[in-house]
Amino acid sequence: MFKALLVEKDAESGKTHAAVQELDEARLPEGEVTVAVEYSTVNYKDGLCIGPGGGLVRNYPHVPGIDFAGTVEASSDDRYSPGDKVVLTGWRVGEAHWGGYAQKARVKADWLVPLPEGLDTRAAMAVGTAGFTAMLAVMALEDHAMTPKDGPVLVTGAAGGVGSVAVAILAKLGFEVAAVTGRPEQEDYLRGLGASQIVARDELTEVTRKPLESERWAGCVDAVAGAMLGRVLKQMKYGSSVAAIGLAGGAAIEGALITPFILRGVNLLGIDSVLQPVEMRRRAWARIAQDLPMDKLEEMVQPATLADLPQLGHDILKGQVKGRVVVDVN
């Protein structure tokens, strides 16, 4: 038997209800590797899956949790043996497949990444999908020739999960970081993570029809899109790149024109964490172990248990979760 946050759907009303329950191991889905989960975290998607589902969950009863870290308990795949420490993000685990809000998970071996040296399971979930995505964004910008000598790098949605980790990584790598936030009270937090400049959200949300603005940014990690991305593209330096990871401010790119692309050679790089190939995953986790300042990461952590998840799921959908939630499932 193991404990899990089980979401059940009432056949008559169609309403879902999430509660911690004891489940028999025989109920775990198929998969080559059984993991004794140690930690998980809370993402926006988890909020949807703990609640009514947002169209992500296929079948009920369901165990949410889009990422987890733990120890392999049993494996029919040669790549993993009992005792191995592993991390999982993406692959629609916690949506289409039972996820990490449980003491046990059973998944495909292909979906797992061995934890790199220097990272324990708790730290891996302090990083989570948000931090993993931030690292992918930084790597994409580096692959497009961004270096610290090029000038300031902008991070939008900076006080959020992805933004916070992006700020910490970029600062550790020696970049001058400008952090955009709509929460002025988070200035000390962002400076503590390594931001040297705070940009008020309002400065970048007015939609303009100007073809270009003064060149300001040598790179950008954008979690917001919407009107902000439309403005930021026009402020990018010649030949620089924006890594687009999210849509916290809207799915459209408002006010965007072709001018930054054809007059300044600006690149818009799309970042997906869910179906990222395994080699890239290993590379990103190794870089996280190397380049994310763990003391700064620890300052972002808010501890939680399985029983806290219904409330946390509700809170994250309202934008009321701060820092990185680390869920101890045991």
Task: Please give the Cα distance from 298 to 302 (Å, whole number).
Answer: 9
Q: Closest residue (Cβ) to ligand NDP?
A: 160
Is 44 a residue that touches ligand NDP (CB under 6 A)? yes
For ligand NDP, give the closer residue by CB, 211 or 319.
Answer: 319
With beta carbons less than 8 A apart as the criterion, state whether 65 and 46 touch. yes
Span from 98-106, 157-165, 285-293, 306-314 in contact with ligand NDP (CB under 6 A): 157-165
Q: Identify the CA nearest to 182 among candidates 190, 194, 192, 193.
A: 190
SS3 of 58, please? coil
Q: Given candidates 248, 269, 304, 325, which one binds ligand NDP under the rule CB under 6 A? A: 248
Lookup: tokens for 10: 């009432």
For ligand NDP, give the closer residue by CB, 6 or 242.
Answer: 242
With beta carbons less than 8 A apart as the criterion, state whether 327 and 308 touch. yes
Is 6 a residue that touches ligand NDP (CB under 6 A)? no
Task: Please give the Cα distance from 288 to 283 (Å, whole number).
Answer: 9
Is 271 a residue that touches ligand NDP (CB under 6 A)? yes
SS3 of 167, please? helix
Q: Given candidates 64, 116, 163, 230, which one binds ligand NDP under the rule CB under 6 A? A: 163
Is 157 a residue that touches ligand NDP (CB under 6 A)? yes
Span from 22-30, 46-54, 141-149, 161-169 in contact with ligand NDP (CB under 6 A): 161-169
For ligand NDP, give the closer residue by CB, 65 or 182.
Answer: 182
Span from 75-83, 104-112, 241-249, 279-287 in contact with ligand NDP (CB under 6 A): 241-249
Q: Given candidates 141, 162, 199, 266, which one binds ligand NDP under the rule CB under 6 A? A: 162
Task: Please give the Cα distance from 145 to 92 (Å, whole number).
Answer: 32
Hey, CA dihedral for 312, 321, 45, 97, is it positive or negative? negative
Is 249 a residue that touches ligand NDP (CB under 6 A)? yes
Q: Given candidates 246, 255, 260, 313, which one binds ligand NDP under the rule CB under 6 A? A: 246
Is 56 a residue that touches ligand NDP (CB under 6 A)? no
Q: Which of residues 166-225 bind ligand NDP (CB under 6 A)?
A: 181-183, 186, 201, 223-224
For ligand NDP, give the closer residue by CB, 148 or 319.
Answer: 319
Lookup: tokens for 203: 């400065």
Task: Please give the Cα distance from 227 to 205 (Å, whole number).
Answer: 5
For ligand NDP, give the closer residue by CB, 28 or 224.
Answer: 224
Task: Please give the Cα distance from 178 to 12 (Å, whole number).
Answer: 51
For ligand NDP, give the closer residue by CB, 182 or 260.
Answer: 182
Task: Please give the Cα distance from 264 to 240 (Å, whole number).
Answer: 8
Number of residues that bind ligand NDP (CB under 6 A): 30
Q: Identify the CA nearest to 180 among candidates 192, 194, 197.
A: 197
CB-side neighbour CA atoms (13 Å) of 294: 12
Is 158 a residue that touches ligand NDP (CB under 6 A)? yes
Q: Given candidates 102, 154, 159, 306, which one binds ligand NDP under the rule CB under 6 A? A: 159
Q: Identify the CA nearest to 214 among candidates 198, 232, 195.
A: 232
Is 18 a residue that touches ligand NDP (CB under 6 A)? no
Instruction: Tell the smallest beta-carbon distance from residue 200 to ligand NDP (Å).
Output: 9
Amino acid at 135: M
Q: Beta strand pairing status for 113-114 and 85-89?
A: antiparallel
Contacting residues toward ligand NDP, per CB under 6 A:
43-44, 129-130, 133, 157-163, 181-183, 186, 201, 223-224, 228, 245-249, 271-274, 319
